[in-house]
Structure 1
Amino acid sequence: MVNVTQVLMFTLSAYLDTGVLKYLYFLLILSLYVFIVCANVLLIVVICVNRSLHEPMYLFLVSLFVNELYGSTGLFPFLLVQILSDIHSVSAPFCFLQMFCLYSYATIQFHNLSIMSYDRYLAICYPLQYHTRMTSNKVAMLIALTWLLSSVGVGVTISLSSSLLLCGNIIKTVYCDNYAIVKLACSDTRVNNIYGLSYTSLVVFGPLILILYTYIKILKVCFSGSKQTRQKAVSTCTPHLASLINFSFGSLFQILHSRFDMSSVPVMLRNVLSLYFLTCQPLFNPLMYGLQMTKIRSLCKRLIFGC
C-alpha cells in the first residue's frame, strides 16, 4: 500500500507515440490555445471599455470569458509540454492543482450559464422591473458566489482525494482526473463517493432546475406575447441555449469516458472525447456571442479595424 504523500509522480498512459507527428499536434494545439486566448481577451476588452455594454448580461459574459481563460490555461500549456515530452509524467502536487483548476472551471461554467438563464428570464418576463431586480450589487454578488462556492466545493473534493492511500500511479488519461485517482485507491473511498455524489447532484440538479424553470417561463411569454417579444427572446436566448447544449454534451462525453469501460473505443477518439468539454466552450462561446450579438459584433469590428 502506497501513501499518496509517497507518490511523487503520476504517469499519464493515454498518450500515443506519434513520432514526428507530435510536432504537428503541438502546432495545432498551440494555434487553438492562441485563438482561444485572443478571442476571449478581445471580448473581455470590448465589454469592459464600452460603457454601453456595462449591463448585467454582458457582465455575466465577462465572468464566462474569464473562466474560459482560466480553464484553458489549466489545460493547454500542460498538453503542449506533454505532447513534446517522451516521458508523460507529472508531479503529484501539480496533478492535484490541475484537477482543482479543471473541476472548478467546469463547475463555475455551469453556474454561470444558470445565472445567465435567470438574467434572461428577468429581462424577458419582467422588462419594466428588470433593472430594479438585477442591480449592479446583485450582479456582483452572484458572480462572487459562483466563483467562491465552486472553488470551496471542488477544494473539498481534491483534499479528500489527496488523502487517499494509493496502490499505483498510472492514470489512463491525458490530464489529471479525480475519478482516475480515486480508482487507484487501496483505502476506503466511501467518504469520497458520498461527498462526490452529493456535491455533483447539488451542482448539476440545482442549476438545471433553475434553467428549466426559466426557459419554461420564457416560452410561455413568447407564445403569449407580441412578435417583437419573440424576436427579442430568440436573439438573446439563442447563444445561451447553444452554449448550454454544447457544454452539456461535452460533460456527458467526459462522464462516459471516466465512469465506463471504453477500451473498445480507439485511444485517439477517447482522448478527443475527454478533452471536448474543456476545449469546446472556450472555442465555441467567443464565436457564438461575438457573431450572434449585434452590439458585440459591431464593437469588435470598430476595435479591430478602427472604423
Structure 2
Amino acid sequence: MINATILSMFSLSGLNDMTTKHRVTLFSFTLLCYCVILLVNSALIVTITLEEKLHEPMYIFLCNLCINSLYGTAAFYPKFLSDLLSNSHVISYTGCLLQVFVIYSYAATDFSILALMAYDRYVAICRPLEYHSVMTKHRVIWLVCFSRLVSLLCQAIVMIMTSKLELCGSHIEKLYCENWSILKLSCSSITINNIVGFIVIFFYFGHDLFIVCSYVQLVKSALKSREGRKKFTQTCLPHLLCLLNVTTALLFDLMYTRYGSASVPQSVKNFMAIQFLILPPLLNPIIYGLKLTQVRNSVLRLCRCRKQVKGLG
C-alpha cells in the first residue's frame, strides 16, 4: 500500500554537511554576491530607462534581461541567506512550488530574451535597410510580453501537474526546491510529468538552435564589410558570451539533477545546482556594460551627474 501523506513542509538538505564556521563565510560571500547582482543589474536598468538614446530594441531587450535576473534571484537568495543563519532548513509546500515556478520561469525567459536579441542583431546586420520597419516599438513590446507569457504558461502547466501528485516523502536534497526533486517523492507514476518536462526543456534549448542559425547568417554578412565586422564584434560577442554563460550553467544543473552520481561531494553538487543563479545574473550586465560603448558611457555620465549634484548639495 502506498504511504501517501498530505505535506505542508519540505526539508532542504543541501546545507546539512556545513559547519557553522563555513556558514558564516558562505553567508558573507553570498550576501556580497547578491548585493553585486542587485547593483549591476539595477544600474543597467536605470541607465537604459533614463537615457533616451538607449531606447532602442537591443537595449530594451538587455533591460528586460536584467529585470529577469532580479526576478529569478529574488526567489533564491533571501531564502538561502535565511537558511545559512538557521539550523532548520524547511520551506512550506506552497512556498516550494512558488520557488520552483519563479526560478525556472526565470531560466526559460532568459533563453527567450537571448533569442530575441539574436533576432534583433540578425535584422540589424543582415537587413539594415529594413531594421526600423521590422523592429518597431509596437513589435518590440509584443515580443517582450510574448517571451515572458510563454515561459510563465509553460511553468504554470508544469507546476499544476506537480501539485496534483501524491507524495511519499518531504526530503529534498538541494539548496532550494527543484521540480525533479519533488517528482522523485511521488508515490505514483510520473511518466506524463517527465514527458511534459522534456518537451519544455527541448523547446527552450531549441532556442539555442535558432540562435546558432541566426549567427551563421550574421557571420556570413559581417565578413562582407569592415562596418559589418565592427558591428558584429561590438554587439554580438557580448550576446554570445551571455548565451554560453546561461546555456552552460543551466545544462549543468539539468543534467546533474537527473543523472548525477551520488558519490559527488555535496559542495560540488551545491555549486552545480546554483551556477545559473550566480553566473548569468552577475556576469551578463557586466559583459554588456563593458563591451557596449553607449551603455558604458551612459553609466559613467550618470555617475558623474550624481557626483555633481551631491557636490552642489
TM over 0.5: yes
| Paired residue total | 304
**Is the CA contact 1:165–1:187 (under 8 Å) kept in the aligned structure 2?**
yes
The equivalent of 2:49 in structure 1 is: 48
Question: For 1:18 and 1:257, how far apart are their aligned partners in 2?
Answer: 25
Check conservation: 2:47, 2:295, Cα contact below 8 A.
yes
Question: Are the counterparts in 2 of residues 117 and 240 from structure 1 also a CA contact under 8 Å?
Answer: yes
CA deviations on 1:92-137 (whole Å, 9 max, x unpaired) are: 1000000000010000001110110000000000111101011001
Query: 3-state SS of the aligned residue for 2:10?
Result: strand
Other structure's SS at 2:75 match: helix
- 2:213 is aligned to 213
Q: Which residue of 2 aligns with 1:222?
A: 222
Q: Does the aligned pair in 2 maintain the 1:2–1:165 contact within 8 Å?
A: no
Structure 2: which 5+ residue stretches go unaligned? 309-313
Deviation at 1:199, TM superposition (A): 2.1
Q: Tell me the equivalent position of 1:130.
A: 131
The answer for unaligned runs of 5 or more in structure 1 is none
Q: Does 1:13 align with 2:13?
A: yes
Q: Greater CA deviation, 168-177 or 226-235?
A: 226-235
Q: Distance in 2 between the 1:41 and 1:2 partners?
A: 48
Match runs of 1:168-179 below 5 Å: 168-179=169-180
Q: TM-score, normalization: structure 2? A: 0.94
Name the % identity. Answer: 37
- State whether structure 2 residue 255 is matched by structure 1 residue 273: no
Instruction: Report the residue type matching 2:191 in the other structure.
Output: R
Q: Deviations over 1:32-80 (max 9, x none)?
A: 1111111111100100111100000000011100000001111100110
Bigger Cα displacement from structure 2, 194-203 vs 213-222: 194-203
CA apart distance, 1:269: 1.2
1:291 aligns with 2:290: yes
User: Aligned-pair RMSD on alpha carbons?
Assistant: 1.2
Shift of 1:286: 1.2
Provide, for residues 204-247 of structure 1, a one-character-per-residue CA deviation record: whole Å limited to 9, x for no partner: 21x12321221010011122x11121111111101000000011
Residues in 1 aligned to 2:285 and 2:275: alpha-carbon distance in whole angstroms: 16
Q: Distance in 2 between matches of 1:33 and 1:280?
A: 11
SS of the residue aligned with 1:128? helix
In the superposition, the TM-score normalised over structure 1's length comes to 0.96
Q: Runs of at least 4 residues of structure 1 off by over 6 A?
A: none
